[in-house]
Structure 1
Amino acid sequence: MNNQARRETPQVDLNGAVWRKSTRSAQNGACVEVAFPEGAVAMRDSKNPHGSVLLFWPDEWDAFLHGAQGGEFNRP
């Protein structure tokens, strides 16, 4: 069980958000897009731009990137 304090999901306005995806992404629409509205990081599936959005606090996003760059999520 995780003993860290639980935080509420960031509340943000995504109207006008600038969505980005990797330049290495294929053109078939099967990509993850990221936006950086003030105070949060938003992530969505490019195949469904009007669907659900995952929201993260910036420090959560930074921890994820640090782990990914450090190989924490590499497949065995």
Structure 2
Amino acid sequence: LPIYVGKAVPAGARMGAGTDVPPGKVLFKRLKEHADSIKAATNLNVEDFFCRFLVVDDIWIPLGESLIISRFTPVWNS
């Protein structure tokens, strides 16, 4: 079961602004931010975590995220 569901979208994407940042770089940056916060905790090991991701067109990102959150109710999303 997922403990967290999130999205990785380029800066400005929420406002419909075009971006030249490749999606892979945005995803890698977001995963690194999460890994850094896990490493900062004293009671968590980053090696105990893994991720799964789904690449979709921008229009489907909010729907996919909200459906997965409502279906699984991840503890870190509550």
TM-score by length of 1: 0.30
Counting helix residues as a fraction of each chain, which structure ranks higher? 2
Bigger RCO (CA 8 Å, 6+ sep):
2
Which one has the bigger strand percentage?
1
